[in-house]
Structure 1
Amino acid sequence: MMTNLFSTFDPSSSLLFPLNWLSTFLGILFIPYSFWLIPSRFSIIWTKITYILHKEFKTLQGKKSWGSSFLFISLFTLIIFNNFLGLFPYIFTSTSQLVLTLSLSLPLWLSFMIFGWINNTTHMLAHLVPQGTPPILMPFMVCIETISNIIRPGTLAVRLAANMIAGHLLMTLLGNTGPSLSYSLLIILLITQILLLILESAVAMIQSYVFAILSTLYSSEVN
């Protein structure tokens, strides 16, 4: 019995030791097959997706990408695998926890900031004051830009975790009402759950893409 609404997402297990966080690494099981088996449709589609993402990330980063687009493709792969695995029954959705999302966004943001302030200090200072700002407003703009820069890892982490947990919560709430419904309403509930599952599949792809794209944009600002 749930003690509260969010206990469904509690990263604890009734076993001797918790196995929930092992779901984060389940996506690795699907990757090696593309290296030693005859290419399947899945591997061909994934190769095309990787190529498209590489071109887009390279365009966003400009000439000084140094091949770092592959880092963001790996980030995209990790997030999308975990988002999709969380849609299967009895598999822990690790991307709905701020522990994981902050562990991804905070080191990335810190590395961008350290690299930018050490190597491109003038460029980073110029970013604090938008072009064409009146002199009287410059102190306020510096404060606003500094705050917006500091909260970036938090917004990245909260956006991914909140979007993943919201759909799961809605599906859990609707599923709990199933035993008390009549036969006709149960059919409507099943159709609604299927539609929500399709929506969650789209959200899983979109949120992983948004996380990777925003990380790429943040890295392009420090060059």
Structure 2
Amino acid sequence: MMTNLFSIFEPSSSLLNMSLNWLSTFIGLMFIPYLFWISPSRWSILWNKINLSLYNEFKTILGPSQKKSTLIFISLFSLILFNNFLGLLPYIFTSTSHLVMNLTLSLPLWITFMIFGWMNYSLHMFAHLVPQGTPPILMPFMVLIETISNIIRPGTLAIRLTANMMAGHLLLTLLSNTNNFLNSYLLLILIFSQILLLLLESAVAIIQSYVFAVLSTLFASEIN
């Protein structure tokens, strides 16, 4: 029995005081062998087309000098997408609904970009702090504002993904807890609405993984 609505996001399976639910993050690795079959399946053909589309888009954002870095962001998109969809299945832990998981993805990337940019393109990074055409009297304030907005980038990435994945799960849980008090007709309406909400959550799972990867790519494109 739930003592708290947010307890649905807590890891519950453990062995020797080690949480096993986080192992669901790696279930997506089971799909990798299908990509190397001699006779490709429909799944591998579809996934290759998605990867090719992402490669072309990320290559355009990063430019020709960093087009080899697209593998990082395609892998990031794949990891988040697999975990978002796995969280929609019953009794499977949703790791992307936890801030610690999303910060683990966004914070190391941001720190790496900042270290690389300030060590190799210092003047270019300083130029980003003052937008072109800023009046001299406003320059100190713009430097402060741009610095703060740059520092909070990994947090906004992680919080956006966490909030979107949590909201749908909470709404599905709230609706499912009302089925004991409804008659047959209202129960059918409830089931239909939950199916529609599940379809919406599937779209959210794709959109949020795409947004996370694209914003990370945009952050990387600013350092060169």
Q: Compute the TM-score of the two structures, normalised by the length of structure 2.
A: 0.97
Q: 1:160 is aligned with what amino acid?
A: L
How far residue 37 of structure 1 moved from its aligned partner, in angstroms, is: 5.1
Q: Confirm or deny: 8 A CA contact 2:59 2:67 kept in the other structure.
A: no
Is the partner of 2:108 in helix, strand or coil? helix
Within a 5 Å distance, the mapping from 1:113-192 to structure 2 comes to 113-192=114-193
Q: Confirm or deny: 8 A CA contact 2:83 2:96 kept in the other structure.
A: yes
Show the counterpart of 1:218: 219
Is the partner of 1:90 in helix, strand or coil? coil
Q: 2:102 is aligned with what amino acid?
A: T
Distance 2:182 2:217 in 1: 47
For residues 53-73 of structure 1, give each alpha carbon's deviation from its aligned partner in whole angstroms, at most 9, with x where no partner exists.
000000001122140001100
Distance 1:196 1:143 in 2: 42
Q: Confirm or deny: 8 A CA contact 2:14 2:21 kept in the other structure.
A: no
Q: 2:210 is aligned with what amino acid?
A: Y
> Number of residues paired by the alignment?
223
Distance 1:130 1:92 in 2: 44
Is the partner of 1:31 in helix, strand or coil? helix
Distance 1:31 1:111 in 2: 27
How far residue 38 of structure 1 moved from its aligned partner, in angstroms, is: 1.9
Show the counterpart of 2:39: 38
Q: 1:2 is aligned with what amino acid?
A: M
Structure 2 residue ranges without an equivalent (≥5)? none
How far residue 153 of structure 1 moved from its aligned partner, in angstroms, is: 0.2
Q: 1:183 is aligned with what amino acid?
A: S
Matched, 1:7 2:13: no
Distance 2:166 2:11 in 1: 13
RMSD: 1.1
Deviating more after overlay: 59-68 vs 111-120: 59-68
Distance 1:4 1:11 in 2: 14
Instruction: Check 1:47–1:14 CA distance in 2 against 1; reply closer, same or farther (3 A cut).
Output: closer
Q: 2:99 is aligned with what amino acid?
A: L
Q: 1:205 is aligned with what amino acid?
A: I
Deviating more after overlay: 76-85 vs 7-16: 7-16
Instruction: Check 1:14–1:174 CA distance in 2 against 1; reply closer, same or farther (3 A cut).
Output: farther
How far residue 18 of structure 1 moved from its aligned partner, in angstroms, is: 2.9
Distance 2:181 2:9 in 1: 23
Structure 1 residue ranges without an equivalent (≥5)? none
Distance 2:118 2:56 in 1: 27
For residues 86-105 of structure 1, give each alpha carbon's deviation from its aligned partner in whole angstroms, at most 9, with x where no partner exists.
10000000000011100000
Distance 1:37 1:89 in 2: 33
Is the partner of 1:158 in helix, strand or coil? helix
Within a 5 Å distance, the mapping from 1:77-92 to structure 2 comes to 77-92=78-93
Distance 2:112 2:24 in 1: 27
How far residue 31 of structure 1 moved from its aligned partner, in angstroms, is: 1.4
Distance 2:40 2:172 in 1: 36
Q: Compute the TM-score of the two structures, normalised by the length of structure 1.
A: 0.97
Report sequence identity in percent: 71
Structure 1 ranges of 4+ moved more than 4 A: 14-17
Distance 2:186 2:174 in 1: 15
How far residue 13 of structure 1 moved from its aligned partner, in angstroms, is: 2.4
